[in-house]
């Protein structure tokens, strides 16, 4: 799962880098805040007060 999100972050960084480098700075500047907000909203907060810990930690 960590590898997936790492690969996703790398893909986003490459995509944004290419967009900026190829002359789409205005488009990226107008939309980056919306993209960040939507990605934050898509991530569910993790409940750290759960009584069930990882398997094997009793």
Total number of domains constituting the chain: 1
- Copy the structure tokens of residue 47: 């409940």
- Whether 8 is covered by a domain: the verdict is yes
pLDDT computed for residue 21 by the predictor? 84
Cβ 27 vs Cβ 16: under 8 Å: no
pTM: 0.44
- How far is 47 from 58, CA to CA, in rounded Å? 19
Average pLDDT over the chain reads 79
Does residue 58 belong to any structural domain of this protein? no
16 part of a folded domain: yes
d(CA 30, CA 49) in angstroms, rounded, equals 38
Domain that holds residue 16: 2-40
- Residue with the larger pLDDT of the pair 44 and 11: 11
Query: Is residue 49 domain-resident?
Result: no
| Percentages (nearest 5) of helix, strand, coil residues in the chain | 65, 0, 35
* Position 57 confidence tier, pLDDT thresholds 50, 70, 90: low
For residue 10, pLDDT beyond 90: yes
Q: Residues 15-43: what's their mean pLDDT?
A: 85
């Amino acid at each position: 799962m960590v590898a997936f999100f790492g690969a996703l972050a790398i893909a986003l960084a490459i995509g944004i880098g290419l967009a900026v480098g190829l002359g789409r700075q205005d488009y990226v500047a107008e939309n980056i805040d919306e993209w960040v907000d939507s990605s934050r909203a898509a991530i569910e907060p993790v409940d750290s007060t759960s009584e069930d810990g990882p398997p094997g930690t009793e």
